[in-house]
Homo-oligomer: A and B are copies of this chain.
Amino acid sequence: MTLDTAVHTHPDPIAEPRQRVLDAAELLFMERGYNAIALRDIADALGMKQASLYYHFPQGKEELYVAVAERAFARHYAGMAAALSGNATLEVRLNRVAAWFGSQPRMCLMGMVHADLPALHPEQTRSVTQSAFLGLFRPLVEAFANAQAQGEIGTAEPNMLAGAFLALLDALSIGMTMSHTPERMTMAAELINLFLNGARAGAAHTREA
């Protein structure tokens, strides 16, 4: 399966510099958020002047941010599909997802939903939200629903499981940034282990029964 995604299907000579801009912008936007980053910061990272960015993204900052987000979620759509494919157990799949997520530029999902999306025009907010749903949330929901059908885990709401799992992945990248990480993948595996044991055992929202 072609994991290098649908982004550069043919090495369009006009599309390549655009990717360089997106790369630099993604690092900054995803690291510190839409409001914290000035176009000037991105231009500096590229060794160019702020005004030059308007050649590549005539609509300015918001267009650039949306393009960054859409591209990132498209990449995740492919990466998640690969991570969740095949006949492996849910545990193996989730560890693949964590590995994929960790291999990507840091993305603070919670911060994005909380602070970035509200700063965009409503239509853009909708679009980016949809991409995030398709790229990250839905694949997980389906994986959990699948595992339930196989009896691998209990009957907890798949939407909740997906949300909780994404929250843990999100926290993991932050925890890594802060604490002097005791081997990233070790902690990911421990977290997944914890999560899966919970999903296997409990399930239904009744515990007083």
Q: A111–B157 Cα gap in the complex (Å)? A: 26
For window 20-36 of chain A, which residues contact chain B by CB distance below 8 Å? 32-33, 35-36
Interface class of chain A by DSSP: helix
- Residues of B near A67 (CB, < 8 A) are none
Asked whether A114 lies within 8 Å of B113 as measured between CB atoms, the reply is no
- Total count of chain A residues near the partner, CB < 8 A: 45
Among A108, A160, A198, A205: residue with most chain B CB under 10 A: A198
- Kindly provide the distance from the CB of A110 to the nearest chain B CB, expressed in whole angstroms: 4
Q: Do B193 and A114 touch across chains, with their CB atoms under 8 A apart?
A: no
Is A168 engaged at the interface, CB distance under 8 Å to the other chain? yes
A202 within 8 A of B: yes
Q: Which residues of B contact A35 (CB under 8 A)?
A: 33, 35-36, 115
CB < 8 Å neighbour of A178 from B113, B197, B207: B113
A 170-209 to B, binary, CB cutoff 8 A, 1 in contact else 0: 1100110011000000110111011111111110010100
Q: Which residues of B contact A7 (CB under 8 A)?
A: none
